[in-house]
Amino acid sequence: MSSLDRRRVADFGAFVKAAGGLVVQPRMGFGSPERMRAGLAATKSADARTVGTITLDSYTRVGDHEAVVDALRQGVGLNGYPIVHYDRAVTERVLDGIGGPDFPVQVRHGSAQPRDIFAALVASGMSATEGGPVSYCLPYGRTRLADSVAEWAACVESFARLREVGVEPHLETFGGCMMGQLCPPSELVAISVLEALFFHAHGVRSVSVSYAQQTNHDQDVEAVLALRRLCAELLPHPDWHVVVYAYMGLYPVTPEGAYRLLGKAAELAVATGSERLIVKTVAESRRIPTVEENVSALEHAARVAERSRPLSGPADSATYQEARTLIEAVLNLHPDIGTALRTAFARGYLDVPYCLHPDNAGRTRGYIDDRGWLRWADTGRLPLGRAVSSPRTVTAGGLLADLSHVRRAYDAPHAQVEPVAGV
């Protein structure tokens, strides 16, 4: 850590807040250092306000470094950049002359046990990454929540010590994206805020909070405004911003549909005063996108953002009230937020619909109502006192229809999802 030259290390949070408009970012990762460098260079030179991304491969995500070695030896393509495997000099060369204060690069990974990943990214001169003890544990594997909470706590504390050498480390919550789809927004907002509080509790003060676009624009606006109000009320330091993710469920298959949906995400970001947007590409429904497809997506989102305007919607809403209730119920369980999160899942105070992880109670269900809003079909043991929706049984056929709702809506010719009045 002492070898870090702080003049060359970006302050990711400060950069985004000072950008003067929506910052757009890809989800790009390649196994080859040359391709990774080319992807970063193309992102930087895109006609948009951008930050860079190094997305790691799925073997590195689960700590299977032998599989990385085998894949590289056999010339089998990796689905991301194996930052732990490569010598730090390799990653420094990937970033050299590209990453820096004028172009911060964030590492994206998806690991419940990210110790080696944190060490590798810091050693290579980077200071921004993302995830969280809940959001990188429950959806993607079998790591016990207690183990994830313990390892994330240690990693965040170690990461926070970058400030001792004059570098401001930045962490983004992935909690606003749980399962990609069919989790009602109030719980997404609650988990995103709780993970930001977890980062603060372990010493990182520059944070961003995520929210993934869901099924209805008006509901999404309500959710992001709720998220902003809760951050303003609850986060102990003003260095925070909101990052919107373009839809993470089944993506439209037509280029028109894919661009319309991405454009809607850009409108959402601008309407709610969000500072950053993670884009998706036209290739998303079929394969890992190329660098060119990523650049097209970044530029399309930037153009839509330029012609979108902020809304002054009410910050009070049913989503705000529900999210606030969930957050308070969790925080009241224990003064240590990691313990509070574990207890909350054990009691079903947090319960992610359709998540099959052994530490998730699995009693909640979400569905899409006839206006396209995500609703609770079953709130399980969530501490939402009054009935927040009419209970109903989710059938296999109903689930399939809901999972493809957005794809169908946006792929339809003359989709009925064109700009909402006032945006």
Which residues are near another protein by CB under 8 A? 58, 61, 108-110, 136, 139-142, 174, 179-181, 248-250, 354-358, 393-396, 399-400, 403-404
Q: Identify each DSSP E strand in 2-98 by its residue range.
A: 23-25, 52-55
Q: Which is closer to another protein, CB of 158 or CB of 404?
A: 404
What is the residue-wise DSSP string for 363-414? -EEEEE-TTS-EEEEEETT-S--S--S---PPPHHHHHHHHTHHHHHHHSTT
Cβ at position 394, least distance to another protein in Å: 7
> Which of 314, 358 has the CB closer to another protein?
358
Which residue shows structure tokens 């992102």? 43
Rounded to a whole number of angstroms, the minimum distance from the CB of residue 200 to another protein is 23
- The CB-side HSE value for 144 (13 A sphere, CA atoms) comes to 6
Structural tokens at position 12: 């990711």
CB of 361 to another protein, least distance (A): 13
Distance of alpha carbon 68 from alpha carbon 85, whole angstroms: 7
Burial readout 90-119 (b: 16 or more C-beta within 10 A, e: otherwise): ebeebbeebbbeebbbbbbbbbbbbebbbb
Least distance CB 415 / another protein (angstroms):
20
* 283 or 304: CB nearest another protein: 283
Nearest to 188 by CA among 141, 224, 147: 224
Q: Which is nearer to another protein, 11 or 411 (CB)?
A: 411
| Least Å from the CB of residue 142 to another protein | 5
Cβ pair 209, 192 in contact under 8 A: yes
Q: How far is the CB of 5 from another protein (least distance, A)?
A: 31
Task: Residue 56: name the closest of 4, 103, 5, 126 by CA.
Answer: 126
Which of 166/358 has CB closer to another protein? Answer: 358
Nearer to another protein, 162 or 355 (CB): 355
Q: How far apart, in whole angstroms, are the C-alpha atoms of residue 1 and residue 331?
A: 34
